[in-house]
Amino acid sequence: MSSLPPHERFGNLDYEAFQRMAGDSTLTPHERSGFPSELREGAESVIRTDIVAKLPVVALPGATVVDIGCGANPLTDSLIELCNRLGHRLTLVDSPEVLRHHRAKKSVTLVAGRFPDTPKLLSDLEGRCDAVLAYSVLQYTFKNMGVHAFVDAALTLLAPGGRLLLGDLPNASMRRRFLASEAGRRHHHAQTGEDENPPLMWPKLPAGEIDDAVIFGLLARARDAGFHAWLVPQDANLPMANRREDLICERP
């Protein structure tokens, strides 16, 4: 196991890194999806409950669901089990290396590729999806290929009343606000064992990171394209709840 801290072990990841990690037998299922095991282990239930609360159609039978950048970890397994039980038509989108950890079934379709470079998926499911999920994915798109093409394509999949959840987005502005607060300083002291307050450089251009400007830009872009869009509060029990955002878009 690496002795590097989590922010270095799992920093600067991209599509190709996840391809390599998917075949690395030394990594745990959480680690091959880009998370320290200690951060995600045992959190699957609260995360799945939160996803279903934000995509309520997933709790109803017979929905058409797409999971973009699904990964191969206990959370994915839990969502597959739920969709199978409720008779959903589930499509999992990720690299071929990641999808080798899953098996296609009558109700589960595997689409290999880097979304939105998946033309058949887009043509087959345009305007037909009740729920589209991209969980802990958009930040890697932001660093390497830009978010607008990704979000625009995901929105085209939605049926009337369908929802897109862009979940678990790390927000650099939210993180700075938290660390500048008394609660954030206590958190920093507890995590580091040091008395010094966390270093803050603010204002600062967060190169390569999602911040308030990116989040609000996506919100406005979706609304201008004719979709409802909301930022929603975070359950305090979610991992990294003090620095993450969820953006929900809905086709009226």
* Better-scored residue on pLDDT, 183 or 87: 87
The token duo for 13 is 């990841």
pTM of the model: 0.88
Architecture of the domain whose range is 6-171+210-250: 3-Layer(aba) Sandwich (3.40)
| pLDDT (0 to 100) of residue 204 | 63
Which amino acid type is present at position 77?
A: D
Taking the CA of residue 6 as centre, how many other CA atoms within 13 Å lie in the half-sphere pointing to its CB?
12
Contact call for residues 208 and 143 (beta carbons, < 8 A): yes
Can you say whether residue 171 is alpha, beta or left, with left for phi > 0 and alpha for psi between -120 and 50 degrees?
Answer: beta
The H or E element containing residue 7 is helix 6-9
Rounded Cα–Cα distance for residues 134 and 231 (Å): 15
Q: How confident is the model at residue 91 (pLDDT cuts 50, 70, 90)?
A: very high
Contact call for residues 247 and 55 (beta carbons, < 8 A): no
Cβ of 56: how many Cβ atoms within 10 Å? 11
3-class DSSP state for residue 113?
coil
Q: What pLDDT digit, counting tens, does each position of 196-229 carry?
A: 777 766 656 666 789 999 999 999 999 999 999 9
| pLDDT (0 to 100) of residue 106 | 85
| pLDDT (0 to 100) of residue 184 | 64
Rounded Cα–Cα distance for residues 108 and 179 (Å): 42
Cβ of 144: how many Cβ atoms within 10 Å? 15
| pLDDT (0 to 100) of residue 1 | 44
Rounded Cα–Cα distance for residues 113 and 30 (Å): 21
Q: How confident is the model at residue 252 (pLDDT cuts 50, 70, 90)?
A: very high
For residue 125, what are the CA distances in angstroms to 131, 179, 182? 11, 42, 47
* pLDDT over threshold 50, residue 7: no
Q: What pLDDT digit, counting tens, does each position of 119-143 carry?
A: 999 999 999 999 999 999 999 988 7
Q: Are strands 89-94 and 108-112 parallel, antiparallel or unpaired?
A: parallel
Q: Please report, for the chain, the start and end positions of each structural domain, with discontinuous segments joined by +.
A: 6-171+210-250, 172-208
The H or E element containing residue 229 is strand 228-231
